[in-house]
Structure 1
Amino acid sequence: MRWPETTTLLLRADDGVLHVTLNRPDARNALNALMIDELDAVFDAIAASREVRAVVLRGAGGHFCAGADLKEVIAGGLKAPAPGEADPIEAWSRRFGAMLRKAGQLPAVLIAVCEGAVLGGGLGFSCVSDIAFAQVDAKFGLPETTRGLPPAQIAPFVVERIGLTQARRLCLTGAQFRGREALALGLVHECFDDETELQTRLDASLEQILHCAPQANAVTKDIILKVARMDMDAVLDDAARQFARCVRGPEAPEGIAAFMQKRAPKWARGT
């Protein structure tokens, strides 16, 4: 698979796993327009690939992501556009939201490694991930309102992740908190103290993912994500259709045969 050329991201493919590292360490990996565009292109490539079964999203230099690059937002122009003109700030914001939603809808399993600054958009990435790990001293928060801004493209994903009651508290106070509280809130799934513990937990999760059939995982994720967005009967009707397609597809016969023969299926790592 040929991946897009990037300057704000580091990409490393390894046995069905794509490691994507946000690489603006001098800015604590704050999101500028170029990084948003490059993430968008990489996510498109992942969605089109049959090779990638898991994506590990991490930040360079000890920080995950400090949110939006506000210097660039302001540089977009504070003067309101003339009637009929496109608003560059509105377009910037909406493009970020579209990219964040695309990350959450990837057919591959998305793993977020949260350490250092996990603020604004960085917290948004944790909300759209399938699995999130947090370093115990990582600093989470939605500081937008303390800067006179709403977390406009992030708040909806926070509500989906942890529910309305806690989302209201976090979004309306600008409170910052550490990794263990993020775990208690349900923002992340596991905490780690150091790199050694992270690698142990990450390797265990990747091993589990790579023993699952990739198309079955993609279909399962699609069903799960529809629950909050569609009438339940429509979700179940669609799930039944996808189940039938999977039964007649290539993975189910192999998976059932492997189970009956007490062996690993062909898609499992190491077979």
Structure 2
Amino acid sequence: MQTLPHCETLLLVKQGPALHITINRPDSRNAMSLQMVAELATVFAEVESDTSIRAVVIRGSGGHFCAGGDIKDMAGARNQKAGEGEADPFYRLNRAFGQMIQQVNESSKIVIAITEGAVMGGGFGLACVSDVAIAGPTARFGVPETSLGIIPAQIAPFVVERIGLTQARRLALLGLRIGAEEACALGIVHQAATSDEELNDMLTQTLERVRQCAPNATAETKALLHRVGHESMNGLLDSAAEKFAEAVQGNEGNEGTMAFMQKRTPAWADTE
């Protein structure tokens, strides 16, 4: 990514091998507008081909991660009428978000979510498709759609994948809101910080671990993990063995082996 794309709802800063995305709609607690969905999709599409970026950090401005869907967009969709042969406006609105969150889920980069304040609806979904999620002391998580008379249509499958069906049922069917400690116990987030300083320290430590791991091996491992449960085990293990053989004989495998024998850090860990 030679030049960071222009965004109106996101702040983008590249620091070393990490791209930091700050959702920047603080007046609406970073509610997810159609424009934000489109900009996130664009950024993640461009990140895929940028080998200098190994991690993407997502957080929100103004003390909140993301309060869910933008009510203004929903009101706008209500005033639209689908033309002949066109999909319903609410379908298009909802499906656009689903395509974006699937794109984030399947990104080859390590996605890190720093969650604070409101982590609701679509924001909850974003946390559930991150590879690493860290909660700040103010974080409140929820799937409130049923309490609003709607359904968590696009995030529900990712919530089930994240925490299992039984806990997803409880949260979604009751429209519950929970704190960082319970979110950590359920596996929505991996760590819960007790202060802003600790939150930033946890992020720094996570990014240092990203630096220590080979980028191509990391991407291949993530892709392999996503295949579990969707393919026959025998076929998956055959394919995994082929990928392993390629990795061992590839540049990263050779460098990692030599670095271990020479008791030095591998080249990818020295990349700034």
TM-score > 0.5, shorter chain as reference: yes
Aligned to 2:119: 118
Tell me which moved more, 228-237 or 198-207: 228-237
Alignment of 1:25-36 (within 5 A): 25-36=26-37
1:268 aligns with 2:242: no
Q: Conserved in 2, the CA contact under 8 Å of 1:12 and 1:20?
A: yes
Distance 2:86 2:162 in 1: 35
- 3-state DSSP of counterpart to 2:268: coil
Letter in 2 for 1:85: E
Which string of whole-angstrom CA distances, capped at 9 and with x for unpartnered residues, describes residues 126-179 of structure 1?
110000001133111011111110000010000000000000111100011100
Give the whole-Å Cα distance in 2 for the aligned partners of 1:152 and 1:46: 27
TM-superposed deviation, 1:74: 2.1
- Partner-residue secondary structure (3-state), 1:236: helix
Which whole-Å deviations, capped at 9, do the CAs of 1:66-86 have from their partners, x for residues lacking one? 010022122112676365222
Offset, 1:184? 0.7
Displacement of 1:9: 0.3
Identity level (%): 48
Q: Are 2:21 and 1:48 aligned? A: no
Matches within 5 A, 1:179-198: 179-198=180-199
State whether residues 132 and 189 of structure 1, in contact with CA within 8 Å, keep that contact through their aligned partners in structure 2. Answer: yes
Q: Tell whether the 8 Å contact from 1:123 to 1:141 is kept in structure 2 after alignment.
A: yes
1:170 matched to 2:160? no
User: Which one-letter code corresponds to 2:103 in the other structure?
Assistant: K
Paired amino acid for 1:81? A
With structure 1 as the length reference, what TM-score do the two structures score? 0.96
1:7 paired residue number: 8
Could you list the structure 1 runs, at least 4 aligned residues long, displaced by more than 4 angstroms after superposition.
Answer: none
Q: Is the partner of 2:270 in helix, strand or coil? A: coil
Distance in structure 2 (CA, Å) of the matches to 1:216 and 1:7: 34
Give structure 2 stretches of 5+ with no counterpart.
none
| Offset of residue 193 of structure 1 | 1.9
Match of 1:85 in 2: 86
In structure 1, runs of 5+ residues without a counterpart are: none
Q: Is the 8 A contact 1:3 1:45 kept in 2?
A: no
Counterpart of 2:19 in structure 1 is 18
Return 240-249 or 211-220, whichever deviates more: 240-249
Other structure's SS at 1:50 match: coil
Shift of 1:237: 2.1
Aligned length: 271
